[in-house]
Structure 1
Amino acid sequence: MDRLNLRHLYYFWVISREGSIVRASEVLELAPQTLSGQLTTFEASVGGLLFQRERRKLILTDLGKIVLGYADDIFALTGELNETLRLAPAERPLTLSAGVSASIHKLIAYYLLQPAMVLDRPVQLECRTGGTEDLVLSLKRRELDVVLTDRTPGQDDQGSFTVHSLAGSSISLFASAHLARRLKKGFPESLNGEPLLANATNAPYFERLMNWFSLKGVRMNVVARIDDSALIKVFGREGLGVFAAPTAIEDEVCRQYEVEHIASIDEVKDELFAITRSRNFTHVGVRAICEKRGNF
């Protein structure tokens, strides 16, 4: 920034738009000689000519085209900022940066974020998915306002954040119609040796499900490990195996992926949390998310 004078950049931008120093000077209410001098100063600071003069016309040089591209972006954002600042504080868009653990089903992620999207003021949501550890690190760096996850922070981070219990649901098993109808008879023993589509994101509910299988003496055949909850359901729809999902979204899973419900397992729960930097909410969107608790 020590070399870039934004006022000079603005003068250059107006000259580019108007096509001549004379017309630009009228817009800027400056004498043409003054504006020409400012342009010369700016060219010296960027280290090259921004215009070539051909028959009284100003033609952008290659350097000028590069600078103009950045200037267009800068002053487009400046215009948006001016429009925003003209609004009353309560009418200004509120930016909410949320991290969502990749192991959370996307429909449930929507349900968790939805309270922040129906506030009395507009909200601009920036949503990032990933591993909980990486998202918590971004929260610590203040790149995120909240992290939605299915697990609590590691021991080293527990004193740095506040964990809010959000919601819970039992887990259900689903499969293609032909497979589901066969497996409903004699459940859970009917699952022995059957293909299972496993969650590869180490989702806590999946570990609990595998423990439940062990307690029931059920041994399924893991045919795929997939880290995308939507892709697991597509594989299940095509008859490649049984998959697990929260019972709370049973109807939507069956409708969207054309599968059938096999059974619900009340002993296996999917628990979700919001992680924030502080117990005191300064962000109304985060407050709306954290205050909506209970089942889905």
Structure 2
Amino acid sequence: MSTRLNLKHLHYFWLIAREGSIAKASELLDLTPQTLSGQLSSLENHFGQPLFRRENRSLKLTEKGQWAFHYAEQIFALTEEMQAGIEDFERKGPLKLKVGIAASIHKLIAYQLLEPLTQLERPLNLRCHSGQIAALVHGLKKQEYDLVLTDQLPDDYSTWNMTAHTLLTTPLGLFATPEKVHQLQAGFPQSLQGEPLLATSFSTPYFQHLMLWFQKQGVTPHLVAEIDDSALIKVFGSQGKGIFAAPHAIGDEVCRQYGVEELAVIEGVEDTLLALTRTPDPQHLGVRELLRAWVHS
């Protein structure tokens, strides 16, 4: 076995594993599948074991392949971050930052989390995209985003070799129109029995905890809608279509913007906001500033 690892071969292996096939990786690299297959064989000879096995016409990582891929992910995530940083410094223009934001995150909270970036000395070119967490994590993995803001982790998060940084934890509040709040205050929380309830997503951890809280109180609200847009759910709530939950930390602003009132703060039921990054210690100046403001404050 050679004592020196060929990083070019490792890069080819990483792309094959990421794309799921030699054919897809060869298109990205503009190499023939035969050439790429030969380079992969050289790397497998270096490790002394196969890194892939064929399964139903697709490539699956072996145990040794999973081990190698974990390290390759870290190596090439740092390499691409460094290259992006070099390009930013060479341009000497605004610092580009691409952020993915889970649709279930309330937009006022998202702004609050991003606000420290407006204090950077260097001008910032900020691009935000809202979407479903699985697609956002996939985009982060493929360098489409520099970080992802989310209030939940995908089911297969442990296989993505990424880092989750806790930014903010806040108790949940329940909100409704002033008329509905006045009606429900007497006898709360039993007054919630059968009341229409709006949800951003049934799968978010905070909503599941809220449902457990209802259960402990012996009440069962009536789930009338799942609306995966945090701004739209407030519009529905402001029109009297149901009660909705939002972070207490932005309660005053929610009430001001949507003409609703906070019925109650549900202590013990919290919304946790996370930042996902490709590496534990990202070097992007904007990402580092955001983490410094929230994680290290």
Kindly provide the CA deviation profile for residues 127-185 of structure 1, in whole angstroms up to 9, marking residues without a partner as x: 11111111111111111110111123444545611111100110010111111011111
**In 2, Cα distance between equivalents of 1:254 and 1:124:** 31
The aligned amino acid for 1:214 is Q
Q: Secondary structure in 2 aligned to 1:239?
A: coil
1:28 corresponds to: none
2:170 corresponds to: 169
The aligned amino acid for 1:99 is G
1:7 corresponds to: none
The aligned amino acid for 1:137 is H
TM-score by length of 2: 0.66
**In 2, Cα distance between equivalents of 1:201 and 1:136:** 19
1:80-159 maps to which residues of 2 (within 5 A)? 92-155=93-156, 157-158=158-159
1:181 corresponds to: 182
**In 2, Cα distance between equivalents of 1:122 and 1:128:** 20
2:261 corresponds to: 260
Q: Displacement, 1:99?
A: 0.5
Asked if structure 1 preserves the Cα contact closer than 8 Å seen for 2:202 and 2:208, the reply is: no
TM-score by length of 1: 0.66
1:190 corresponds to: 191
1:210 corresponds to: 211
Backbone CA RMSD of aligned residues: 2.2
1:287 corresponds to: 288
Q: Secondary structure in 2 aligned to 1:219?
A: coil
The aligned amino acid for 1:160 is N
Larger Rg: 1
In structure 1, stretches of 5+ residues that fail to align are: 1-86
**In 1, Cα distance between equivalents of 2:118 and 2:204:** 26
Asked if structure 2 preserves the Cα contact closer than 8 Å seen for 1:91 and 1:121, the reply is: no
Identity of aligned residues (%): 49
Q: Secondary structure in 2 aligned to 1:137?
A: helix
Asked if structure 1 preserves the Cα contact closer than 8 Å seen for 2:201 and 2:207, the reply is: no
User: Structure 1 pair 222/152, CA: closer, same or farther in 2 (3 Å)?
Assistant: closer
**In 2, Cα distance between equivalents of 1:279 and 1:240:** 43
**In 2, Cα distance between equivalents of 1:179 and 1:100:** 31
**In 2, Cα distance between equivalents of 1:187 and 1:263:** 9
Q: Secondary structure in 2 aligned to 1:292?
A: helix
**In 2, Cα distance between equivalents of 1:88 and 1:227:** 38
**In 1, Cα distance between equivalents of 2:144 and 2:89:** 26
In structure 2, stretches of 5+ residues that fail to align are: 1-87
